[in-house]
């Protein structure tokens, strides 16, 4: 509590309350008002950390995997709430678990827990996302000394795109979004452009603030381009923070020919997704 009180009062929120003025009862763990549901490798960590710059946002640092993993879901809503950070009334709790987007039961479970929860979906060129997804799996397998197959062997079968490759299925955004839209109205799902967030985070954060009905507190001064990292990093109260090395890894190789086949395969699914969200993206 002391930690929350001091962080709340020393933060940039402009709050004039002193630790002694915050009653114990006001500080508690609350269910998320907003959840970043995906996409895996879309920039979910960057979005969460950037939203956390806002003084009225508190985030769950770890991925909670409540709505997608049965063993966690069985633990119940009180367990889920207990994973959340301490907040004051008026603050918004945000968690991110990219696995929610593609989990068949996640939309119904989330709707039952809180039908008013705001959803954030950060998307990225699904072909690039697939390569990033493969690169992450490859990295994990190498670390565990497990065998691995080159990407092209998983992606192509007799020279054609293999539709059962899991990382490809995760890139069929329209397919997964359709399940969310069966329950949640379109206005309750905010789409963040992952490529735009990389190029220039501030405008995407402004849009997210508006969606979350938060006063504008994040500023361009909260970001600076780190040439060593090759990405924007965060600046707040004199602290400088870049995402760790698992973000922005060099991608595993894939021939241009195979990549173009993937792009061609994704053209139609992408168009369906654009129609669904009423927005187009400059994807391959
Ligand atoms: N500012 C900043 N710094 C570092 N990385 C950034 C940033 N903004 C977006 N990204 C992109 O985030 C990609 C990882 O996405 P996720 O955090 O969603 O990955 S994960 O699903 O949680 O593993 C990661 O993808 P890869 O480049 O493929 O590793 C990054 O491109």
What is the DSSP secondary-structure string of 86-120? EE-TT-EEEEE-GGGTT-TTHHHHHHHH-TT-EEE
Active site residues: 41
| Alpha helices for 125-253 (secondary structure H) | 126-143, 151-155, 166-169, 173-181, 194-199, 201-211
Whether 234 contacts 222, CB under 8 Å? yes
18 band by pLDDT with thresholds 50, 70 and 90: low
Q: Which atom of ligand 1 is nearest to the CA of 246?
A: 29
CA of 236 to the centre of ligand 1 (A): 20
Count of alpha carbons within 13 Å of 105, Cβ hemisphere only? 11
Average pLDDT over residues 250-261: 97
Does 158 belong to an annotated binding site? no
Residue 20: its pLDDT value, please?
57
Does 30 belong to an annotated binding site? no
Indicate if the pLDDT at residue 1 is higher than 50. no
Q: 97 CB under 6 A from ligand 1? A: no
Average pLDDT over residues 47-72: 98
- Which residues touch 183 (CB under 8 Å, ≥6 apart)? 107, 108, 111, 115
Does 15 belong to an annotated binding site? no
238 band by pLDDT with thresholds 50, 70 and 90: confident
Q: 190 CB under 6 A from ligand 1? A: no
Percent of the chain with pLDDT over 90: 90
Determine which helix (DSSP H) or strand (DSSP E) holds 9, and give its type and residue range: helix 2-10
Burial class of 28 by CB neighbour count within 10 A (0 to 12, 13 to 18, 19+):
middle
Interatomic CA distance for residues 63 and 119, integer angstroms? 15
Could you count the other beta carbons within 10 Å of the beta carbon of residue 138?
A: 18
Taking the CA atoms of residue 64, residue 66, residue 69 and residue 72 in that order, the dihedral angle to the nearest 10 degrees is: 100
Which residue out of 36, 46, 196, 223 has the highest number of ligand 1 atoms within 8 Å of its CB and is therefore the one to mutate?
A: 46
Q: Which two tokens stand for residue 226?
A: 């780190």
Residue 118: its pLDDT value, please?
98
Q: Which atom of ligand 1 is nearest to the CA of 98?
A: 21
pTM of this structure: 0.93
Indicate if the pLDDT at residue 46 is higher than 50. yes
């Amino acid at each position: 509590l002391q930690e929350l009180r001091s962080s709340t009062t020393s933060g940039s929120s402009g709050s004039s309350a002193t630790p002694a003025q915050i009653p114990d009862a006001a500080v508690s763990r609350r269910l998320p008002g907003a959840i970043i549901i995906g996409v895996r490798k879309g920039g979910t960590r960057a979005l969460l950390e950037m939203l956390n710059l806002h003084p009225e946002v508190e985030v769950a640092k770890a991925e909670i995997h409540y709505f997608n993993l049965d063993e966690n879901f069985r633990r119940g809503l009180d367990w889920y709430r207990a994973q959340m950070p301490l907040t004051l009334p008026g603050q918004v709790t945000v968690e991110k678990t990219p696995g929610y987007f593609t989990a068949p039961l996640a939309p119904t479970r989330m709707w039952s827990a809180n039908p008013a929860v705001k959803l954030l979906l950060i998307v990225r060129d699904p072909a690039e996302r697939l390569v990033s997804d493969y690169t992450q799996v490859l990295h994990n397998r190498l670390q565990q000394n497990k065998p691995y197959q080159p990407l092209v062997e998983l992606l192509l079968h007799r020279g054609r795109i293999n539709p059962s490759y899991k990382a490809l299925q995760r890139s069929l955004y329209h397919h997964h979004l359709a399940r969310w839209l069966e329950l949640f109205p379109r206005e309750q799902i905010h789409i963040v452009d992952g490529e735009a967030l990389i190029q220039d985070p501030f405008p995407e954060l402004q849009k997210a603030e508006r969606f979350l009905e938060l006063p504008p507190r994040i500023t361009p001064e909260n970001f600076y381009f780190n040439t060593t990292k090759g990405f924007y990093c965060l600046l707040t109260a004199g602290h400088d923070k870049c995402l760790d090395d698992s973000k922005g890894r060099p991608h595993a190789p894939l021939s241009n020919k195979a990549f173009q086949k993937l792009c061609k395969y994704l053209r139609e699914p992408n168009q369906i997704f654009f129609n669904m969200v009423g927005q187009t993206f400059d994807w391959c």
